[in-house]
Amino acid sequence: MTVRLRPHHLLCMLTFIGKGYTAAFTENYRLIAKRLSAGEDILIVEGPDDICAPMLGETDHHCLCDSVTERDLKSSEAVEALLGMPAGPGVSIHPDADFLARMRKAFRAGFLRDGCARCEWSPLCTGIAASGFEDVLVVSPGG
Ligand code: SF4
């Protein structure tokens, strides 16, 4: 199995501690966090992904907004610059300990945060990074 993620969710998964828009959203996200923590690969996709899925039936979701597409583009560029490899739709990533550590170090330093501009969750994510990613639910396999 592969977890389908849009580019900016490569950032969001670093700070997920179980909070989110709706109960269905967080329940689904917790299952995805478990799958990633068990070592399932990520397939980067364009547009709504496995994390977005429960929101698509809501009337006020923003999964298809231009601002979110822009967030994906900026996140993709930042991840590419960090890892020195493509990070756009069609690319597979194995979320091992090294990947998560490199991503979290860069996120905490602010290097990956261009895509976070105007996100309502930004103060929460900044605080989680500042805490050393305490209580996050995506961890390295076995970690
Ligand atoms: S601030 Fe928003 S876009 Fe950035 S990681 Fe947090 S939830 Fe994701």
The per-residue pLDDT for range 50-77, each reduced to its tens digit, is 999 999 988 888 998 999 999 999 999 9
Q: Which domain holds residue 63?
A: 2-130
Residue 102 has pLDDT above 90, yes or no: yes
Ligand 1: residue of 9, 25, 122 to mutate (most ligand atoms within 8 A of CB) is: 122
Query: Does residue 143 fall inside a structural domain?
Result: no
What average pLDDT does range 25-45 have in this prediction? 97
Output the CA–CA distances (angstroms, integers) from residue 50 to 16, 28, 96, 117, in the order listed. Answer: 15, 8, 19, 22
Query: Does residue 28 fall inside a structural domain?
Result: yes
Query: Does residue 142 fall inside a structural domain?
Result: no
Question: How far apart are alpha carbons 17 and 121 in whole angstroms?
Answer: 12
Question: How far apart are alpha carbons 59 and 61 in whole angstroms?
Answer: 6
pLDDT of residue 58: 86
Closest ligand 1 atom, residue 107 Cα: 5
User: First vs last Cα of the chain: how many Å apart?
Assistant: 20
Centre of ligand 1 from the C-alpha of residue 12, in Å: 5
Q: pLDDT > 70: what percent of the chain?
A: 99
Q: How much is the mean pLDDT over the chain? A: 95
Nearest CA, atom 5, ligand 1: 12
- Give residue ranges with CB within 6 A of ligand 1: 8, 11-12, 15, 115-116, 119, 121-122, 125
Helix (H, G, I), strand (E, B) or coil at 13: coil
Query: Does residue 99 fall inside a structural domain?
Result: yes
Residue 138 has pLDDT above 80, yes or no: yes
Query: Does residue 108 fall inside a structural domain?
Result: yes
Centre of ligand 1 from the C-alpha of residue 91, in Å: 21
Closest ligand 1 atom, residue 116 Cα: 4
- With cut-offs at 50, 70 and 90, classify the pLDDT of residue 143: low
Q: Report the DSSP beta bridge partners of residue 92.
A: 43
pLDDT of residue 142: 62
Query: Does residue 136 fall inside a structural domain?
Result: no
Residue 4 has pLDDT above 90, yes or no: yes
The dihedral built from the CA positions of residue 15, 121, 87 and 43, taken in this order, carries a sign that is positive
Q: Give the distance, in angstroms, between the CA of residue 113 and the centroid of all CA atoms in the same chain.
A: 12
Overall number of domains in the chain? 1
What average pLDDT does range 15-42 have in this prediction? 97
Cβ count within 10 A of residue 129: 21
